[in-house]
Structure 1
Amino acid sequence: MSFKFTMEPRVSFLSALLKDIYEGVLKIPRFQRSLVWKRQQQRELLCSIYEGLPIGALLVWNTRLDNINTYDHIGPFLVEKAPSTSSNIYLMDGLQRLSTLYCMLLHPSDKISSKYANENRVSDFLMYCDLSADSVENMFLFRDELSADELVRKNYMYMPLDLVFKSKELLRFQRLIPAHLEGLVDRCDAVVSAFKDYKIPVIPLESDDQALVTKSFERINSRGTVMSEAHMLNALSYTDKFDLLGSLDLYSEKYFDESSKWKEIDTEFVLMLLKLKLGYEIYSKETDKLAKNINDDSVSEIFESIERLAEFARKYLNIDSPASFPYRLQMLGIARSFLDNPNCSPEMLVSWFYLSAYTNAFGTTARNSQRALTDLYDYLKTGSLPWSLNQAPALLPLEGIKVNLNAGRIKTWVLALAARLDASNISYKGGDKRLIPIRPKEFMSYERRPGFYFLLGDKSAKKFDINDMSEYEADANFISLELIELYNNGKYDEFAKLRETLMFAWEYKNLISPSAKLANFVIEFSAKNH
């Protein structure tokens, strides 16, 4: 059955649309995305209206359904809750445009909510019009783009945009303009007329079939500001008993306190984990099918598994942040393992973590990534790690690799350095700061290669001197007598090459080899350099 437009398009004054929002007649459904427009997008919208350019049609949904949860605010401003009627009107497309105009033009200061003002600063929606601007692009200014001195000395030059619909306040402002600058009055009148007289096409859809409307919503929102998959899925799965976005917020608060770095886990990761739980591939885009199977319980289970992932990472990998994982899909695999079996073997997970990191199992294609995850699940069942990727597993030595702190191989190497420090019983202050490798000043003019980097803890890179390191510090940082001699003789390239060899040998002996033995896994060295 195709979706039918059963009402004729109409044209509405901007002022009437803003009034409908203020009075709660035009409702904002909670499956809409929140305010995401950047300042430049907001400014360009105002410029378009001033110049009389079209800003696109709005799409509204007329329905007898009254079980659609709606927002009670836009930005920091509350909106009225309209009395129940036999027909409801929901804004389906155009939220970013109308929200911008509502907050900046109507700017209902009598509706400021202390609750939402904390999330959205009221001052962020104070817009001024520079009546002396030489072009429309320079006409609209945010409050923090003007100094207090400018607003005092030239208050007649900067018209608050929220005066457009406030006749008395507008008249008082125009009286401030000096008589010899009557051109500013004309510009002021032109601004007011542009917004008061502006009309917007409105396309109404009339249906009581929520599934059809949300499908239309999905297709329409594939253009313009990209909607996240979470919002799209929320639109398709939304009922009066389940709000996906609300559940994500609820369980994030429940399982992680404000200080936890795991609270930063993004919704895309949660959705990928949901897909795995429900039998879909991680990159599947069958949103409509997925929406039929998710509920509050499944979201809760996902966050329980992420909590177990966080505890496992802290206890066995010396990782306390998602950002420290070499590959995000490693987190996905481990969390999925805890979904299947909360008591799965931590030793097997550790071995898989190191083998997948050192073999670059997640650094090629999406298909290989899916296969690497499947290999993990088979490993946990059989005790032997298979390899179904379309390239042979091979180890990359450190020599020739350029240090990029976001690269998986470098993150793995940093974790190895941290493990070496822990094994040496050297304690540093500053917590996670020691997981950031530092290149001392002697090596700044050389290539960014691992051999020139250290985890120095409280030591300053500017005051770094290998000769000042204690015996334990030197050993923890792979500094031998031969390396000290190379350093003192200024043979830095030879120093880096030898140190990289020592570090990789330690990685192989203490992390790679034990993991391969436990997993019954055969691995080879690669001569490939990066």
Structure 2
Amino acid sequence: MATPAYLSEPQIQSLSRLLQEILEGNLRLPLFQRDFVWSNNQRSDLLNSVRDGIPIGSALVWRTATRKLECFEAIGPHRLPDRSGMEGILHSYLLDGLQRLSTLLGSIYPRSPETRAVSTERSIGQELNWDLYYDLEERVFRFQEGDEAPASTWQPLWLTLDSIGLLRFQRELAKHPDAERLIAASDELVSAFRDYKIPVLAIVTEDLEQATRIFHRINSRGTPMGEFHMMQALTWREGFDLRERLTLAKVRLKERGWEPEPEEDLFLDVCKAALDLDVFEEAVEALSKRLQAEPRVIDEATDNVLHAVSFLQQECGILSAELLPTRYQLILLADAMRTWRAAGSPAEVKRHLIRWFWLTTYGSTFRAVNGSKLQRLLLHLRRLASGETTQVADEIGPYIPSLPERFHYRSARSKVLALHLARLGPRSVSGQPIEGPTALLARHGADAIIPLFRNHSESANRILVRPDEAQAMREMLQGKTLLRCSDEMLASHAISPEAANALYAQDIERFLALRGETLTALDNEFIKALFIEEVAYTPATPST
């Protein structure tokens, strides 16, 4: 039976003691927190907060008797000891507070030959400048730049907790003409750091799923820990770094124009689908064991995501993640690519997968999806990808909603409308076709689908234009220059001659009604093609 998880009472600990716990190896920093990302300004802001007694948030610690994680070996100028926990003794891992405590340890903790960091891949911020000083005259924190020697009134921060070193520094400071004021500033700084307290919140559990859910829900100043971070911690070993593999996968997606960059959890969800695990549930225990035993699972998942992205771009005109109606379509299509290739299915299966994509988009199939429904959709798509069935609508249903009355770019149905407008080959204010309208939509998203009339949210009020021509397009279509627009120009924006007449007469309601009819006709034509199993969609070519 799993040990229940609970949050212990917060302990208020002195900053100096907490840093000592890290340097002695009693509180360790797991390797899933790979990156030190704070800028010099952020580090200075933190030091200012401690000096001024401003709270900097709590530290979150995970205590476990059985879980052993790979940990960092150095922080800035300090080497960290490798202490394997004794039998029956809880291991303590810092889960939230890496940036803050790394900044403080590297900046203010005394340096000695015994604790000097060695060059290692398991280091935090070794490439950064850790020579920080406190300007006692200006009372500001400063970084030593280049070979320039610091002023005699700059107090090295690493003397803050070093009583002997600090005494030597203040003896030299006593020779300064303004010694009394400077030494007072030095004492105030040291007292502020030595007296500073930090709340430490501990989570004690052996249940990984429950622990991960807790990590998701705890808000802090740092980056909250998610399922991927726990997976990174549990699967890390020499030769297998989950973050590095997924970073490479994201680079490959970016090279194909698939942006914005997906979260790491997308690849984990593809793994879950392939292993028949519930995508909606935390599965760190089961998934980490599979990845440890079979690292190829994550590599196959990333390959399948890349195949699914190529399918979406080449066959459906979905050039980027910005245009994808829902991430669940990508997850299931990645699994379909795996099934299709494993079964050696004929090329004509691709036609059914195209229909599946558009039918799930039109039907907003994933709007209120749960674990059991997603599993049914997955099993049906596998049958489709393997050639076992050609009935696309079995699990989707034949219901196709009408053109949405109101336009909401993030909705699947509105994105279909935007893609239809791109297919018309819209023209710019000069009358020339817009180059790569689908790529324009992929790049600018909602900013490329503008309302012609303000304060009107109808779908029929949206046109596709380059964002820098939005106002010029409005002025042209709403003004007298409308008469100079050719029929081809208007048709490229789904504006019929009758709708143009209503527009010229400033009859906005009639214009929206007539244009809505044109858009509905375009929609119906495409839907009809879906149901007769012939997709008339002309795929766009990804821009290079």
TM-score, normalization by structure 1: 0.70
Residue matched to 1:401:
406
Find the counterpart in structure 1 of residue 71 from structure 2.
70
1:266 counterpart = 2:263: yes
CA distance in 2, matches of 1:61, 1:217: 11
Write the mapping of 1:356-371 to structure 2, written as runs, cut at 5 A.
356-367=360-371, 368-371=373-376
Question: How does 1:75-94 map onto structure 2 within 5 Å?
Answer: 77=76, 79-80=78-79, 92-93=93-94
Q: Which residue of 2 aligns with 1:244?
A: 242
Segment of structure 1 superposing worse, 291-300 or 80-89: 80-89
Match for 1:193 among 178, 191, 194? 191
Deviates more, 1:216-225 or 1:278-287: 216-225
Q: CA deviation at 1:298?
A: 0.5
User: When the two structures are aligned, how many residues end up with a matched partner?
Assistant: 483
Structure-1 residue corresponding to 2:333: 334
* Matched residue SS, 2:72: coil
CA contact (8 A) 2:355 2:392 kept: no
TM-score of the aligned structures, taking structure 2 as reference length: 0.69
Kept in 1: contact 2:272–2:279 (CA 8 A): yes
Tell me if 1:490 matches 2:509.
Answer: no
2:79 match: secondary structure:
coil
Whole-angstrom distance in 2 between the partners of 1:363 and 1:33? 35
- Pick from 160, 165, 190 the counterpart of residue 164 of structure 1: 160
Q: 2:417: which partner in 1?
A: 413
Match of 1:480 in 2: 496
Structure 2 residue runs without a partner (length 5+): 5-10, 144-151, 536-544
- 5+ residue gaps, structure 1, are 5-9, 134-140, 145-154, 206-210, 521-530
Percent identity (aligned):
21
Residue of structure 1 equivalent to 2:465: 456
CA distance in 1, matches of 2:418, 2:174: 66
2:285 pairs with 1:288: yes
**Counterpart residue type for residue 500 of structure 1:** G
The answer on whether the counterparts of 1:420 and 1:476 sit within 8 Å (CA) in structure 2 is yes
Distance 2:471 2:198 in 1: 62
Cα gap change, 1:164/1:490 in structure 2, threshold over 3 Å: closer, same or farther?
same
Q: Deviations over 1:463-504 (max 9, x none)?
A: 222435444332222122112111111112221221122112
* Equivalent in the alignment of 1:147: none
Distance in 1 of aligned mates of 2:329 and 2:55: 52
Partner of 1:138: none
Q: Which residue of 2 aligns with 1:428?
A: 435
Displacement of 1:419: 2.4
Query: How far apart are the structure 2 equivalents of 1:488 and 1:504?
Result: 22
- Counterpart in the other structure of 2:390: 383
Give the drift of 1:393.
2.4
Tell me, yes or no, if structure 1 residue 277 matches structure 2 residue 274.
yes
Task: Tell me the alpha carbon deviations over residues 352-396 of structure 1, each in whole angstroms, 9 at most, x when there is no partner.
Answer: 11111111111124254444444433444310024447x972313
8 Å contact from structure 1 (residues 429, 458) kept in 2 = no
Does the CA contact (< 8 Å) of 2:419 and 2:438 recur in 1? Answer: no
Distance 2:124 2:72 in 1: 16
User: Paired residue for 1:514?
Assistant: 529
Aligned partners of 1:233 and 1:287 also within 8 Å: yes
CA 1:454/1:69 → structure 2, altered by over 3 Å: closer, same or farther? same
Aligned residues of 1:45 and 1:55 also touching (Cα < 8 A):
no
8 A Cα contact 2:421 2:494, kept in partner = no
Cα distance in 2 for residues equivalent to 1:358 and 1:267: 27
Matches within 5 A, 1:144-183: 164-165=160-161, 167=165, 171=170, 179=178, 182=181
Cα distance in structure 1, aligned partners of 2:213 and 2:471: 56
SS of 1:518's equivalent in the other structure is coil
- Alignment deviations for residues 215-271 of structure 1 (CA, whole Å, 9 cap, x no partner): 897588565553111112233444556443343234444x44657435812111111
Tell me how far 1:177 sits from its aligned partner.
Answer: 9.6
Deviates more, 1:219-228 or 1:328-337: 219-228
Deviations 1:116-152 (A, max 9, x none): 999999589979799999xxxxxxx8879xxxxxxxx
SS at match of 1:364: coil
Paired residue for 1:319? 318
CA, structure 1 residues 302+383, in 2 after alignment: closer, same or farther (shift >3 Å)? same
Whether 1:446 aligns to 2:455 is yes
Question: How far did 1:296 drift?
Answer: 1.8
Q: CA RMSD in A?
A: 5.4
Tell me the SS of whatever aligns to 2:361: helix
**Change beyond 3 A, Cα 1:411–1:115:** farther
Q: 1:351·1:514 contact (CA, 8 Å) conserved in 2?
A: no
1:283 Cα deviation (Å)? 0.5
